[in-house]
Amino acid sequence: MTTMAERTHTTSDAPEAASGIQTLSLGKAINEGLRAAMRNDDKVMLMGEDIGPLGGVFRVTDGLQAEFGEQRVVDTPLAESGIVGTAIGLAMRGYRPVCEIQFDGFVFPAFNQITTQLAKIHNRTHGAVPMPVVIRIPYGGGIGGVEHHGESPESLFAHTAGLRVVSPSTPQDAYTMIQEAIASPDPVIYFEPKSRYWGKGAVDLDAPVGAETLNAAQVVRQGTDVTLVAYGPSVVTALKTAEALAEEGRSAEVLDLRAISPIDTGAVVASVRKTGRCVVIHEAPVFFGAGAEIAARVTEECFYALEAPVLRVGGFHTPYPVAKHEHEYLPSVDRVLDAVDRAFAH
């Protein structure tokens, strides 16, 4: 677990620094991370729909085909199972494919390849055939999208052994974690919080790339009374809630999980033992969601430290709603405050 004193989640007016630190949107930070990975290793290649001249529907691959050519930035046929299935074959040949799935709801045609093949080939071959494949998936709601454009299917992947499932919340993490995901010999499902693509923050382009951020949660705000656990797009919601709580005289600690496979149980437990209360926030439905797993683990490890049951704030057990209603479905500051109130009422 690491602690960083300051992280910027909102637009900064600071001019771009010269020393390798730039102010970038989260989407642009991923773009720079992809560029760095491709410059460092010519086996890294990108595959997806409309990622070439268009630069992807969110422009995350903007300019990369121009720099690296059509053999390394591949506009694929419109078939997601084909994207992932051929990426598996390319990995068998020694390549490191990074697949872009255009939207969360479109990953399901590839679900079979991801869960029955990609996740298991390393195990099936006793490590003889590693699967260094990254699946990038813009996920989550809040952008007024049509059906299949606002979902959060991360638990479906976390439930499959062999996959790593991560989601950055800041431009810096997005930049570092995409490079770590590409460097990983394991398949990584890299969920990009699409509602935060345009949020800017400082990115140190020379930041070291190890493996830590793929495994370790991070305390992004210290506090003493309640732990707010979040990842991806919900970290901003948690931080805003913590500010509101501070005005009420309550001190919230905010933990950015970064990964839900593996979950950094140690970081969650350490925080909850200190605060005695825990609220988990994610956009995915709470029913069988990551929050349920966290609640079970916290209850087992922190039973005598808990002042209240672990509570969850997230989506409902309904299809993702129409855009007109999505703001009632998504975890809001108000709903998190309500959960914190309930935790304090015990």
Structure tokens given for 183: 């460097």
Q: Which residue's CB is nearer to other proteins, number 119 or number 337?
A: 119
Q: Which residue's CB is nearer to other proteins, number 209 or number 337?
A: 209
Q: Which residue's CB is nearer to other proteins, number 216 or number 308?
A: 216
Catalytic hit among 9, 122, 149, 282:
149
Q: How far is the CB of 163 from other proteins (least distance, A)?
A: 9
What are residue 256's DSSP bridge partners?
A: 218, 230
Alpha-carbon distances of 23 from 15, 29, 201, 205, rounded to whole Å: 7, 9, 5, 10
Q: How far is the CB of 323 from other proteins (least distance, A)?
A: 30
Residues that bind other proteins (CB under 8 A): 1-2, 45, 71, 76-77, 79, 81-82, 84-95, 109, 112-113, 116-117, 120, 122-130, 161-162, 164, 184-186, 211-212, 214-217, 261-267, 269, 297, 300-301
Q: Which residue's CB is nearer to other proteins, number 17 or number 161?
A: 161
Q: How far is the CB of 121 from other proteins (least distance, A)?
A: 8
Q: How far is the CB of 327 from other proteins (least distance, A)?
A: 34
Cα 305 to chain centroid, rounded:
29
Determine whether 149 is an active site residue: yes
Count of CB atoms within 10 A of residue 301's CB? Answer: 16
Order of strands across the sheet that contains 73-75: 73-75, 44-48, 96-100, 134-139, 188-193, 164-166, 259-261
DSSP string, 28-62: HHHHHHHHHHHHH-TTEEEEETT-STT--TT-TTT
SS3 call for 175: helix
Catalytic residues: 149
